[in-house]
Structure 1
Amino acid sequence: MAAPKERLRCPACGWTHWNNPTPVLAAIIEMTDREGQVLLARNAAWHGRMFALITGFMEAGESAEQGIAREVLEETGLRVDAPSLVGVYDFQRMNQLIVAYHVAARGEIRLSPELAEYKLFRPEDLRCWRAGTGYALADWLTTRGITPQWLEPPAQPAETGA
């Protein structure tokens, strides 16, 4: 049995900060009017050229399916059809639990200001990343009969003696 975990507790009122993982919704958006290409986007706050799934948080009172439909609409201007659960994934580095969906969408893509750009990829051209939503993408590709291809981590600079 594991030892009890230490928690942050307010000495004045006794309130406990549990630090439970935050659920995050993620969408694999398949564009049905663009030969089934998958939309990946780059967050405006990110440096470099990393493109990823559309993600966001649930609002109080909505289901996960409603939340992913709202997030996709807010961030891309696209309405989705029939969200289907891909899986639930651990993302401990960010203390998150990712709930990933596949959604079909069509129409004009209009990015929100939080996204800088998007790219469309044929499913067989996608490259998965070994963190968070990358595992969801790999699982979805596998269900389509596509062997996931993995991005190699960037090379670390060699250490030099001082």
Structure 2
Amino acid sequence: MSTGAAPFAFVEAGADAACRAALDRADRLRDDPAALTALWLQARVLLLDDKGHALADADGNLRAPHGQDISEGPGGVGAAVFLGLDAHGGGWFALEAALTAFDAPRRVDLRSAAALWPAFEASVFAQARALQHWRSRHRFCGVCGGEVTLSRGGWQGRCQRCGAEHYPRTDPAVIVAVSDGERLLLGRQSAWPARRYSVIAGFVEPGETLEQTVAREVLEETGVRVRRCHYLASQPWPFPGALMLGFAAQAEPDVPQVSDELEAAAWFTREEVRAACARGEWDGADDDGEGPVLSPSISISRWLIEHWLAADADRHAR
């Protein structure tokens, strides 16, 4: 089964592409200012505004000029962050747009880019946005409050007062397609569009295994008891910095009872889920008022739902 365009590079466990990334992160170059400077002139530079939107052309396509057209090169605080090397050995950097004289007619947010841009460009944007978010929120040391300066191509912060080192943070979260053998468990939050449902998700807590997180989150949010689960796939989710770890779980056919985290939760038959998938991407227009609306195709949640449908169909075919 294919995962489609995989805008944020999620892949199913064991897939050939599982070890490939959009860019070679080239950690070996982060401590080599001469190498970064040599890459800069011909490198592509992804420019982000203060809201985390990427500069784009009039049609919404990525507009990443070469370093030689940008005023700021790789260096310390506020200068370009080294993202990595593409398949041709070309460098990619990210830079705050306000530091340049370069402008573009449009700004594109990350969710729009994930849906519309090629997977490579969307993945590079996701990497740049996550780093920008980390940098903007770690200007001062959490140990002593001293000012933090950046090194290693923008990937390491060091406190100028106590010397503590700081690194970009990724928060692990599980996301799980729960089945009782015949039905799929879906929940919805009150802030979502009407009738939008998704699989269950939650952050890993200290001292937990991923499997324990699956069981705890499903029980806390829906009152359903998980019997067993197994890992399927992962997807970076840079809103702002999560890593979604996808599971499939078998559970007791308990009646869902929601807490304050969800507005509703319910079991859905394969026929109901198949009909929801057939509705395609739904933008809230022409609402027929019938059946659940599923997560958009850029998310691993939609992939997990379709994976469950395919596995369920295969099980009944045997």
Compute the RMSD of aligned alpha carbons: 2.3
Richer in helix (by share): 2
- 1:74 pairs, out of 202, 217, 220, with 220
| Higher relative contact order (CA closer than 8 Å, sequence separation 6+) | 1
Higher strand share: 1
Provide the residue aligned with 1:131 in structure 2. Answer: 299
1:87 and 1:103 map into 2 onto residues whose CA distance is 13
The aligned runs of 1:1-162 (5 Å cut-off) are 1=26, 3-4=29-30, 5-6=153-154, 7-32=156-181, 36-44=182-190, 46-49=191-194, 50-105=196-251, 106-123=253-270, 124-127=274-277, 129=296, 130-145=298-313
Query: 1:117: how far off?
Result: 1.3
Tell me: CA distance 1:54–1:13, structure 2 relative to 1, closer, same or farther (3 Å). Answer: same
Deviations 1:50-93 (A, max 9, x none): 22111111222221111100111111111111112222222234
Which residue does the alignment assign to 2:13? Answer: none
Shift of 1:110: 0.9
Displacement, 1:143? 3.2
SS in 1 for 2:215: helix
Q: Deviations over 1:86-142 (max 9, x none)?
A: 222222343221111112221121101111112433232343522242233333333
Q: Which has the larger radius of gyration?
A: 2
Q: Which amino acid aligns with 1:13?
A: C
Query: SS state of the match for residue 144, structure 1?
Result: helix
Equivalent-residue separation in structure 2 for 1:139 and 1:16 (angstroms): 41
Counterpart amino acid of residue 170 in structure 2: P
Matched letter for residue 134 of structure 1: R
Q: What TM-score do you get using the length of structure 2 for normalisation?
A: 0.40
Instruction: Give the SS at the match of 1:113.
Output: coil
User: Secondary structure in 2 aligned to 1:143?
Assistant: helix
Give the distance between the partners of 2:307 and 2:235, measured in 1 at CA.
Answer: 11
Percent identical among aligned pairs is 25
Q: Closer, same or farther in 2 for the Cα pair 1:126/1:28, shift >3 Å?
A: farther
SS of the residue corresponding to residue 175 of structure 2 reads strand
For residue 68 of structure 1, give the secondary structure of its aligned residue in structure 2. helix
